[in-house]
């Protein structure tokens, strides 16, 4: 027997109550999401080897139902955030906002492509290759006890397109138009409800969600193997992130290394704040202040930074692709060829336009994209979500620094276009 049937639940309750009581470490420290996730993984690693199959199945079922509910709600979330952003565009600034939308999409797409090419070239040298050997490590007799079986009422791609088209059409209506006013008020109401769901349900339950999947992997003797494989890939991802963001600042400063270092130094407080808050939205005041200094244009910074805080996430783009390619290899699945990657990257970039800057929440919108284009399984999604949230402090810092670089590069492009127009 793997453990005594009575002792197992008692052990779980004892450990949880002991942690909550604050006797192991300060309660405030335990409220940090990365700490909770690490504890969930450690607990899963310990209990996966001693619990009976029935307890493993219960945890796995809870996690599977959690992700099933999220995927069912995602089309509505994606539609609403895109619709709300577009319907509130003022007619006088419509062209500029659409230009920024396009620039963000191109920037995300370019970062994804660079990460894909970088991963293709480097991952084989780090012991990550196309191999079916790892697939057997993740086979298991553990199955979910039940599923909700929600129908796919609309695909995320269609929800996105409906949000874009309806948002653009209604943005041209008069501000006093009754239909526009009702639609705008409804979008704000729904956004508040979605924010409450993400902040009070999704984020607090993430450790339980991660625990359910990780305890299954631990039972299969695959959890340690997974993190051994991914540890060196994390360092490789950080090298890519630092190099990419440095290059953007170097381009924005017209290849002046001294100015590049100065701009990076100016933006560093925002990056450190992003690391500590794990939220681009919460870091926005500091990002604004730093970007106003680098661009020397308060009005431009006030437009670009709030606009990009939730939808332009270079850290996510770079690290998620590296993680996804690593997981494909570990699960014995091939990497997408370039012709397959292009539509995936486009869908990924479009989905990012409906992100929300809460800790761990932005990974939600790309889960259907990973399923539809790369064939990710629920186990792979759970692992990617776990890794994403664990490295989210680094990712958020990169997102914030990337938004500062985006403002500088965009400002340089706009100034160049203005000079061309004035000459002609």
Number of domains the chain is built from: 1
Q: Region 166-181: what's the mean pLDDT?
A: 84
Q: Looking at the domain assignment, is residue 198 inside a domain?
A: yes
The predicted pLDDT at position 135 comes to 56
Task: Give residue 24's pLDDT band: very low, low, confident or very high (50, 70, 90).
Answer: very low
Asked if the structure places residue 235 within a domain, the reply is yes
Distance of CA 208 to the CA centre of its chain: 19
Give the pLDDT confidence score for residue 240 in this predicted structure: 95
Model confidence at 23: pLDDT above 90: no
pLDDT tens sequence across 278-335: 777 668 778 888 999 998 888 788 778 877 777 888 988 899 999 999 888 888 788 8
Rounded CA-CA distance 399/357 in Å is 10
217-241 pLDDT, tens digit each: 788 777 777 777 677 888 899 999 9
Which pLDDT score is estimated for 299? 77
Domain span at residue 45 reads 32-138+156-423
Rounded to whole angstroms, the Cα distance separating 208 from 252 reads 43
In a domain, 238, yes or no: yes
Look at residue 118 and tell me whether its pLDDT is greater than 90.
yes
State residue 2's pLDDT score.
Answer: 44
Please, which pLDDT band fits residue 250 given cuts at 50, 70 and 90?
very high
CATH code at position 173: 1.10.3860
Higher pLDDT, 139 or 128: 128
144 falls within a domain = no
> Exposed, middle or buried, 7 (CB in 10 Å: 0-12/13-18/19+)?
exposed
Distance CA 24, CA 134 (A): 36
> Is residue 146 included in any domain, yes or no?
no
Residue 147 resides in a domain: no
The pLDDT of residue 123: 87
Q: From CA 362, how far away is CA 180, in angstroms rounded?
A: 28
Mean pLDDT lowest among 120-124, 130-134, 220-224: 130-134
Burial of 157 (0-12, 13-18, 19+ CB in 10 A): middle
pLDDT tops 50 at residue 10: no
Determine, yes or no, domain membership for 315: yes
Please check the confidence at residue 212 and state whether its pLDDT lies above 70.
yes
Looking at the domain assignment, is residue 22 inside a domain? no
In a 13 Å sphere around the CA of 143, the CA atoms on its Cβ side amount to 4
């Amino acid at each position: 027997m793997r453990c005594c049937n009575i002792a197992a639940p008692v052990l779980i309750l004892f450990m949880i109550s002991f942690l909550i009581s604050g006797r192991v470490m300060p309660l405030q420290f335990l409220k940090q999401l990365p700490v909770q996730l690490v504890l969930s993984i450690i607990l899963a690693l310990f209990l996966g080897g001693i619990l009976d199959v029935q307890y493993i199945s219960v945890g796995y079922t809870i996690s599977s139902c959690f992700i099933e509910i999220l995927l069912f709600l995602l089309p509505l979330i994606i539609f609403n955030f895109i619709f709300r952003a577009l319907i509130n565009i003022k007619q006088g600034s419509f062209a500029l906002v659409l230009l920024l939308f396009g620039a963000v999409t191109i920037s995300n797409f370019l970062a994804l492509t660079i990460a894909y090419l970088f991963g293709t070239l480097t991952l084989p040298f780090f012991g990550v290759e196309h191999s079916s050997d790892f697939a057997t490590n993740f086979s298991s007799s553990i199955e979910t006890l039940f599923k909700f079986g929600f129908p796919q009422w609309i695909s995320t791609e269609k929800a996105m397109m409906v949000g874009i088209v309806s948002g653009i059409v209604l943005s041209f209506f008069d501000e006093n138009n009754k239909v526009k006013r009702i639609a705008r008020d409804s979008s704000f109401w729904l956004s508040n409800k979605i924010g409450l769901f993400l902040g009070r349900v999704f984020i607090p339950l993430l450790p339980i969600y991660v625990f359910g999947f990780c305890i299954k992997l631990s039972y299969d003797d695959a959890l340690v193997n997974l993190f051994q494989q991914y540890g060196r890939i994390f360092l490789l991802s950080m090298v890519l992130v630092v190099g990419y963001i440095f290059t953007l600042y170097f381009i924005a400063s017209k290849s002046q290394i001294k100015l590049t270092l100065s701009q990076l130094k100016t933006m560093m407080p925002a990056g450190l704040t992003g690391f500590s808050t794990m939220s681009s939205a919460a870091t926005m005041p500091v990002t604004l202040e730093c970007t106003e200094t680098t661009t020397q244009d308060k009005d431009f910074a006030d437009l670009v930074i709030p606009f990009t805080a939730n939808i332009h996430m270079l850290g996510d783009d770079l690290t998620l692709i590296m993680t996804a390619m690593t997981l494909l290899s570990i699960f014995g699945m091939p990497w997408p060829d370039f012709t397959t990657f292009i539509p995936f990257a486009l869908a990924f970039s479009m989905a990012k336009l409906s992100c929300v800057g809460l800790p761990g929440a932005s990974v939600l919108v790309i889960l259907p994209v990973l399923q539809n284009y790369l064939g990710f399984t629920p186990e792979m999604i759970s692992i990617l979500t776990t890794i994403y949230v664990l490295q989210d402090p680094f990712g958020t810092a990169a997102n914030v620094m990337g938004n500062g670089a985006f403002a500088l590069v965009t400002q340089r492009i706009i100034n160049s276009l203005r000079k061309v127009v004035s000459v002609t």
